[in-house]
Amino acid sequence: MGRLTGKVAIVTGGGGDGIGQGISRVLAREGAHVSIMEIDIAAAEAVRERIVAAGGEASVVRGDVSRSEEVRAAIEQVVREHGRIDVMVNSAGVGLARPVAEASEEEFDRLASIDLRGLWLCCKYAIPHMQRQRRGAIINIASVHARATMPLYGIYAAMKAGVVGLTRGIAVQYGPDGIRANAVCPGLVDGKQTRALASHFSTDVEIWLEDFVRRHQALPVLIQPEDIGTLVAFLASEEARAITGAEIPADAGSWAQLISRD
């Protein structure tokens, strides 16, 4: 029996090879039925197939988090098919590396519509179902940039700081209804997006990643999507029944380190 046996979880952005798929796979391994909410159906189906092949339960539901009606319809579909929502994981997101004064309004609005407004919409439509159940766990994926950022990432940092603030507000507002809400703040996590970023700085991606880990982290490990999934599974479980409104780093010690190593 896994710690989430019998639970129904929605994971936004659960396709591809990034954090969302790592979370989806770990939640399924812990016994949850995972509804992967994605706009990339092919990527979501590939993750679902991996989960089923490993003996887990998963389904795919289409939903663009930036569109209110699609979010509402996707969440209602999950409730209609599975009867409840126990866990809402908001992992869908996009990045932006641009100086604050040089970003366009369109870039700002796109980032806000997915990383903050989209996350709020998913919470907005999931919370009433959790209120009826008198229990539920919301885990919002923020970033280490919510607390400490670097050049080019000011707007992205603002969105992730907003995610943390929204998470605290949900925890305070809906705690009496039995709903917990926590924010997970990953550091640099391995995946296609990370490797694409690394390729802009070096022709040798592996060397760049090794150097990043050495310079910016206390632990000499390259964080994997499943590492984030393990933390999310704990926060979704009854083992975390006393934890809400928290901002938890999963960054191999990046926040703990004052300056980069030479």
Residue 203 CB neighbours (<10 A)? 8
Catalytic residue among 125, 153, 156, 174: 156
**CA angle at residue 222 from 3 to 194, to 5 degrees?**
100
Annotated catalytic residue 125: no
Residues 6+ apart with CB under 8 A from 67: none
The pTM of the full predicted model, rounded to 2 decimals, is 0.96
Q: Provide the pLDDT for residue 262.
A: 73
Q: Provide the pLDDT for residue 200.
A: 82
Kindly list the domain boundaries of the chain, sorted by start residue.
Answer: 8-189+225-250
Which DSSP symbol is given to 31? T
Nearest-angstrom CA–CA distance, 168 and 61: 28
Distance of CA 46 to the CA centre of its chain: 19
- Blockwise average pLDDT, block size 10, the chain, 262 residues: 94 93 98 98 97 98 98 98 98 93 97 98 98 98 95 96 98 98 97 85 92 95 97 98 98 90 78
Q: Provide the pLDDT for residue 1.
A: 66
Architecture field, domain 8-189+225-250: 3-Layer(aba) Sandwich (3.40)
**DSSP codes joined into one string, 168-214:** HHHHHHHGGGTEEEEEEEE-SB-SHHHHHHHHHH-S-HHHHHHHHHH
> Environment class of residue 156 by beta-carbon count within 10 Å: exposed (0-12), middle (13-18) or buried (19+)?
buried
Q: Are 23 and 91 in contact (CB under 8 A)?
A: yes
Q: Provide the pLDDT for residue 201.
A: 84
Residue type for position 208:
W
